[in-house]
Amino acid sequence: MTDDAPATTLARLRVFPVKSLDGVDVEAADLAPGGGLLPDREFAFLDADGDYVNGKNERRVHRVDADVDLDARTVRLAAPHDGADAPDPGTFHLDDDRAAVESWMASFLGYEVSMVGERAGGYPDDTELSGPTVISTGTLREVASWFDGVTVDSMRRRLRANVELASDEPFFEDRLVGEPGERVRVRVGDADLLGVNPCQRCVVPSRDPDTGEELDGFRTRFIRKREETMPEWSGGGRFDHAFRLMVNTVVPEASVGETLRVGDEVRILDTEPE
């Protein structure tokens, strides 16, 4: 976690314009005032109680196929795994057709939802550590190998990271985690990110990203393999349990508005007080 830590490059950027639905790969993305990537989690669905309709509390959202055109600001919604019971596929404008999007989702889920939108900061799960989430290609390959029939791309879709580092070294991103009270500064192109916490995982990674079907024993096997394969630079006081993977970040004010680009050099600089 210093200047002598190995450098890598930014291999992939993925934003999730509608919270809990499919992501979109982009070549570049600006860091928003709220800390995330524009337009990550710009929109979200809420139920009648004002709670998020997301994979944590609504398994069926995995069955929604969402194809977002960022330039046209449209989304095509379909539910190909639900057969005749599914609403007809439709393409909607994210700004102008929100009522129609709400109607489609309500028809699919069987209860009313509302769609909210906030371009400046989006709707991250963690409002304090709202920067881009970080993982490495080597981590995705390693963790996918723990589960029969799970591909690297399926694991990528299960974990839903924003920034994927090109390193083939499993758990390279754990280098971005310091001890409690510390943050790790990492330079990505012209921007800085501050690595803080290994992300606490929920039920979502255990589910097939297309059908929502859950892998039996996922959590137990994940924890066992995570403990067996944790590298020497990992662990420490931030890992109060082993069901953590991917790194949560914050964005320094000076980096708001900067652009992350695929191919950017990524260098871990130093550790500083939180």
Digit-coded pLDDT (tens) for 77-111:
999 988 888 999 999 999 999 999 999 999 999 99
pTM: 0.94
From 3.40.1190.20, 3.40.50.1000, 3.40.50.300, 2.40.33.20, which CATH number describes the 8-38+124-273 domain?
2.40.33.20
Band of the pLDDT at 4, cuts 50, 70, 90?
A: low
d(CA 189, CA 37): 15
pLDDT digits (tens, 9 = 90+) for 174-188: 999 999 999 999 999
pLDDT tens digits, residue range 203-257?
999 999 999 999 999 999 999 999 999 999 898 999 999 999 999 999 999 999 9
- Ranges of each domain in the chain: 8-38+124-273, 43-117
pLDDT for the residue 198: 97
Quote the pLDDT of residue 3.
Answer: 44
Q: Hey, which bits of the chain come out as E strands?
A: 8-15, 24-26, 28-30, 43-46, 65-69, 74-78, 90-93, 114-117, 134-136, 163-165, 182-188, 191-200, 244-250, 259-261, 265-273
pLDDT of 225: 98
Residue 181 has what pLDDT?
95
Q: Mean pLDDT for the chain?
A: 94
